[in-house]
């Protein structure tokens, strides 16, 4: 565990995904896979377009990559919380001494609302 002070919050993070419960580890790997393969930003769109060009002579691979691009576009325009933010929320053990056990979509959103004034760069500096 890593204990850090960010702003007015005392945040305790799991220092390694393998410290998570099996359920939370599965959730972590799900979001990690989405971030790595599909993404949710315009850099991911660019990567998907490059992937399509690389497989242009294989119709089945093009279909897969176009579907991945479609999912990326959906993530950009219809998902309020980024995949990276969800990954961070899964790794939060407690905030101000209160354990963060609800890792449902609503639970992750609640964790992030408590920390919404904290920038990702601040978290990276502290961890």
Q: How far apart are CA 24 and CA 19, in angstroms?
A: 9
Q: Is the pLDDT of residue 124 over 60?
A: no
Lowest mean pLDDT of 21-25, 31-35, 101-105, 122-126, name the range: 122-126
Q: Could you report the per-residue pLDDT of 70-107, keeping only the tens digit for each?
A: 888 887 777 677 888 899 999 999 999 999 999 998 99
Mean pLDDT of the chain: 86
Question: Does the predicted TM-score (pTM) go above 0.75?
Answer: no
Q: Which residues pair with 10 in a beta bridge?
A: 5
Query: Taking the mean position of all CA atoms in its chain, how far away is CA 28?
Result: 8
> Considering only CA atoms, which of 115, 82, 79 is closest in space to residue 96?
115
Q: Is the pLDDT of residue 117 over 70?
A: no
Q: Where are the domains of the chain?
A: 1-36+91-127, 41-78
In this prediction, residue 47 carries a pLDDT of 85
Q: Could you report the per-residue pLDDT of 51-76, keeping only the tens digit for each?
A: 899 999 999 999 998 998 888 888 77
Tokens 């001494």 — which residue? 97
Structural Rg of the chain based on CA atoms: 17
């Amino acid at each position: 565990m890593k204990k850090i002070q960010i702003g007015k919050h005392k945040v305790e993070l799991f220092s390694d995904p393998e410290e998570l419960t099996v359920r939370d580890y599965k959730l972590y790997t799900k979001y990690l896979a989405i971030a790595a393969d599909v993404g949710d930003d315009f850099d991911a769109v660019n990567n998907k377009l490059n992937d399509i060009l690389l497989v242009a002579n294989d119709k089945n691979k093009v279909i897969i990559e176009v579907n991945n691009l479609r999912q990326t576009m959906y993530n950009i325009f219809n998902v309020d919380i980024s995949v990276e933010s969800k990954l961070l929320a899964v790794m939060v053990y407690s905030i101000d001494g209160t354990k963060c056990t609800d890792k449902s979509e609503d639970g992750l959103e609640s964790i992030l609302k408590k920390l919404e004034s904290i920038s990702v760069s601040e978290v990276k500096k502290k961890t």
